Structure 1
Amino acid sequence: MKKFSLALVMFMSLTVYSFAQTQDSIQAIPIDKSPADIVYFPVRAAFERDITKKPIVRIIYSRPQRRGREIFGKLEDYGKVWRTGANECTDVKFYKDIKIGDKEIKAGEYSLFTIPNKDKWTIIFNSVTDKWGAYFYDKAKDVLRLDVPVKTPPTPIEAFTILFKEDNGKGAKMLMGWDNSFIEVPISFN
């Protein structure tokens, strides 16, 4: 019994020491200033208990913060391909074939890039996924491009945001905005 008690005490001591080391290591890792987010359409699709009801679109992206900076035309140059967020390129999964504007796109996973300009953004769905930033962007891998007009929000948008809103039963609009700009991308479902 004494051997078992001694072994238990040693095990507990090593466990506590190991946990303390792990906790110190975790605290030494800086928290990302552009946290990842996930958005679905329909909006609460991930919470649906009925497994026959599937989401139509899922987007995983990072949300950089404005922090008093002027974004488009300064931090993000006009006319250049942008990763549309921060960190890894934005990942879009379509669970079925859909239309973006009047252009069809097949079910599958794509990266989302944009080319911001003062009066319009070019929306790009590209077949290369799981890359960091726009450094690996290859125009030859574009699956769909669409230009949409830029709008001005009533107040500046602090964190880059993507969300969906219903479009009168015709589909949805994917909204993307940051700082003093936002866009609406029309999506319709077959």
Structure 2
Amino acid sequence: MTLPKAFSTSFLIAAFLTSFTLVGQNFKPLDVSPMDAATYPSSHRISKKLVKVIYSRPQLKGRPIESLAPNGKVWRTGANEATEITFFKDVTFGGKPVKAGTYTLFTIPEKETWTIILNAEVDVWGAYSYNKNKDVARVLAQVNKSQDTLESFSIAFDDEGTMHLGWETLRLAIPISE
């Protein structure tokens, strides 16, 4: 039995479209702490960067910062995988020399200052496997308050290369230079 050409063509098109529909059903929904990146220089038109930070952005959702980033404990400086920072050249990070490379960015929150940590171990989830012996640099950042409130944890760079961390009204600044 031979099927009409129009029927067989319609059948093939339907099968083709169904295969895309089935594959499309495997996409995951947007993460509740979406991944983001911050770079210096910040302009997208400048391809040669000095530094790039890849991190996930937890949301407060009515919770105090201390419940997500407890004082006195090593924090992954974001959500999900630990935040990674890449320096494309040797830099001075908060006054300490650091070689070009990729590092994990951890922090230890406190009321007046936060300890900012660059750690050589990368591709880690959270701060569960944090190893102090792999620290490359530790610097202190003074806690400042802003009148503006940020629901999402955020990292940004200013025009001088200072890295700013912000959440709720908390603000930290870490200078980075060549």
- Structure 2, unmatched stretches of 5+, are none
The equivalent residue for 2:17 is 16
* 2:157 counterpart (134, 140, 164): 164
TM-score (norm 2): 0.90
The equivalent residue for 1:75 is 68
The equivalent residue for 1:90 is 83
Give per-residue Cα distances to partners, 1:49-72, cap 9 Å, x unaligned: xxxx61100111111111121112
The equivalent residue for 1:185 is 174
- Aligned pair 1:129/2:122, yes or no? yes
Give per-residue Cα distances to partners, 1:72-110, cap 9 Å, x unaligned: 2x3321000000000111111100000012210000111
- Aligned pair 1:110/2:110, yes or no? no
The equivalent residue for 1:58 is 52
**Cα distance change of structure 1 residues 12 and 99 upon mapping to structure 2, 3 Å threshold:** same
- CA displacement at 1:23 relative to structure 2: 3.2
- How many residues are matched? 177
TM-score (norm 1): 0.85
- Aligned pair 1:139/2:103, yes or no? no
Poorly superposed stretches of 4+, deviation over 3 Å: 1-10
- Aligned pair 1:47/2:45, yes or no? yes
Which letter maps to 2:87? F
The equivalent residue for 2:36 is 37
* Deviating more after overlay: 33-42 vs 63-72: 63-72
Quote the Cα distance in structure 1 between the aligned partners of 2:75 and 2:49: 26
Quote the Cα distance in structure 2 between the aligned partners of 1:15 and 1:142: 53
- CA displacement at 1:8 relative to structure 2: 3.8
Corresponding residue SS for 2:146: coil
CA root-mean-square deviation: 1.9
Give per-residue Cα distances to partners, 1:13-37, cap 9 Å, x unaligned: 22222222233333xx332111111
Quote the Cα distance in structure 1 between the aligned partners of 2:116 and 2:5: 65
- CA displacement at 1:131 relative to structure 2: 1.4
Which letter maps to 1:88? E
**Cα distance change of structure 1 residues 82 and 6 upon mapping to structure 2, 3 Å threshold:** same
Which letter maps to 2:164? L
The equivalent residue for 1:148 is 141
